[in-house]
């Protein structure tokens, strides 16, 4: 507490107006320029901000281009507000703000795939919080893209590309990001959260099957825009708090063609993204829509989106139905013969694990746990993920704050079954992990 007061006093002495005009409690930290990454919130710049390309003293860094612009803007120093954006991995020094040196952040910015092996693990709560900030921002951006498309029939592809790039980085830095997406749903914004979720799933899928960065970005974009045609569907139907009538379904089934039409009119749209938008409701056995395409005639990106799309839809809570548990969803989807490309579906399961993030499982110790990320060790089996223990069945009591990496040699617990969420609906799962 003493150090926090000293910290705030130091900040006030630097620029009281900037510090207190946020309306909340700022947490300013001076960092090195090479530590900057998208998702950080610039709280103060040393040197005139009027002379840099941003023309504002405080803002959220939204892309690697903005990071680069800050690094080359000729500023003397940079302070981030960790209450409003991402932090560097190292905690603030007890004596007050100082230049934190954490090489891993630089590595993450340069090569996200290498971060896990070269940096200190971040506490789960903080990882979740930081991932949530980026996911919430992504959802707002998607809402803007849709409302703009509703009016202008066009999509700001630059903004869409930036948000896909930011989400890709977040997924690499924060493996629990998918859990964050699942937790931010609300009634009115299902379509936007769904778009963010499918984009994240597509990027995780693409990374899992060994795609390069360019292909991963394309997959993210396909996920983000696959339902763009819903921008033309009335909000009344889109947010209807009940199952749609047959007539409404007929109208709704127009959305792939409507989305394709909007995207096709823009020169910059990738052919794979167009395919995914038009074909994501085709089924492998030819029973889908709009054209009853069959097998490998359906473009691959569309076959991938089809899997991620359904997986997110069935695991989502809606007013009229409870979402399935992720592990249960995979189990059920595996039984839908003819719906998905079987080879791709197996690859999807391999990628997200038999127990995907968010699954509720029972441990041998008779405790309930939620899967929060893949095992830390790359060589570890997907049946031994990291879990958050939430409830003891024996003692009928909550267990807050216990995280287990089931793949570690010294961990003497393991998963014995996936659990039906409905059977434990009286427990507040979100409260366990927040």
Interface residues toward Fe ion, by CB under 5 A: 227, 309
Closest distance of CB 398 from Fe ion, Å: 35
**Secondary structure E strands in 310-410:** 360-363, 367-373, 386-392, 397-405
Whether the bond between 298 and the residue before it is cis, its omega within 30 degrees of 0, is no
**Quick one: 79 or 340, whose CB is closer to Fe ion?**
340
At 313, list the tokens. Answer: 């839809």
Beta strand 397-405 with 59-60 is unpaired
Of residues 87 and 309, the one with the C-beta less far from Fe ion: 309
> Whose CA is closest to 359, among 329, 336, 333?
329
**Order of strands across the sheet with 397-405?**
397-405, 386-392, 367-373, 360-363, 415-418
Q: Which is nearer to Fe ion, 275 or 309 (CB)?
A: 309
173 versus 280: smaller Cβ distance to Fe ion: 280
Output phi, psi for 408, to 5 deg: -70, 140
Q: How far is the CB of 281 from Fe ion (least distance, A)?
A: 6
Give least dist CB 255 to Fe ion, A.
6
Q: Report how far residue 389's alpha carbon sits from residue 363's, in angstroms, rounded to the nearest whole number.
A: 9
- Three-state DSSP class for residue 157: helix
Number of Cβ within 10 Å of residue 315's Cβ equals: 21
For residue 259, the minimal CB distance to Fe ion (Å) is: 8
Report the residue number, 122 or 298, with the smaller CB distance to Fe ion.
298
Rounded to whole angstroms, the Cα distance separating 99 from 33 reads 10
CA distance 221 to 172: 17
Q: CB-wise, 309 or 341, nearer to Fe ion? A: 309
Nearer to Fe ion, 7 or 190 (CB): 190
């Amino acid at each position: 507490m003493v150090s926090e007061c000293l910290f705030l006093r130091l900040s006030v002495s630097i620029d009281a107006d900037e510090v207190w005009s946020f309306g909340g409690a700022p947490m300013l930290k001076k960092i090195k320029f090479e530590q900057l990454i998208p998702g950080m919130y610039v709280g103060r710049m040393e040197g005139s901000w009027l002379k840099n390309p941003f023309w504002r003293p405080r803002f959220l860094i939204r892309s690697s281009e903005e990071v680069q612009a800050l690094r080359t803007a000729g500023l003397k120093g940079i302070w981030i507000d960790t209450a409003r954006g991402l932090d560097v991995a190292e905690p603030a020094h007890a004596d007050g703000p100082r230049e934190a040196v954490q090489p891993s952040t630089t590595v993450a910015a340069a090569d996200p795939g290498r971060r896990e092996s070269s940096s200190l693990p971040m506490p789960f709560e903080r990882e979740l919080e930081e991932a949530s900030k980026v996911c919430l921002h992504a959802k707002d951006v998607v809402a803007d893209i849709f409302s703009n498309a509703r009016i202008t029939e066009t999509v700001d592809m630059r903004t869409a590309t930036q948000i896909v790039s930011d989400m890709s980085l977040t997924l690499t830095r924060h493996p629990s990001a998918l859990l964050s997406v699942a937790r931010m749903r609300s009634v009115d914004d299902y379509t936007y959260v769904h778009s963010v979720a499918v984009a994240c799933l597509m990027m995780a899928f693409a990374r899992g099957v060994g795609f390069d960065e360019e292909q991963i970005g394309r997959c993210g974009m396909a996920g983000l825009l696959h339902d763009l045609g819903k921008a033309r569907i009335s909000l009344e139907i889109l947010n209807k708090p009940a199952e749609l009538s047959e007539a409404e379904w007929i109208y709704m089934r127009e959305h792939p063609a409507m989305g394709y039409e909007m995207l096709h009119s823009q020169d910059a749209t990738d052919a794979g993204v167009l395919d995914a938008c038009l074909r994501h409701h085709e089924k492998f056995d030819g029973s889908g829509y709009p054209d009853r395409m069959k097998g490998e005639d359906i473009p691959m990106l569309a076959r991938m989106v089809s899997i991620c799309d359904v997986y997110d839809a069935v695991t989502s809570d809606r007013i009229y139905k409870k979402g399935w548990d992720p592990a249960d969803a995979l189990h059920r989807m595996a039984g839908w013969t003819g719906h998905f490309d079987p080879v791709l579906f197996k690859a999807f399961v391999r990628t997200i694990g038999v127990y995907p993030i968010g699954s509720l499982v029972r441990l041998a110790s008779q405790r309930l746990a939620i899967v929060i990320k893949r095992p830390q060790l790359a060589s570890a089996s997907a049946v031994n993920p990291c879990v958050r223990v939430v409830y003891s069945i024996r003692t009928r009591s909550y267990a807050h704050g216990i995280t287990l990496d089931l793949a570690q040699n010294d961990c003497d617990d393991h998963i014995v079954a996936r659990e039906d969420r409905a059977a434990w609906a009286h427990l507040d799962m979100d409260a366990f992990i927040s």
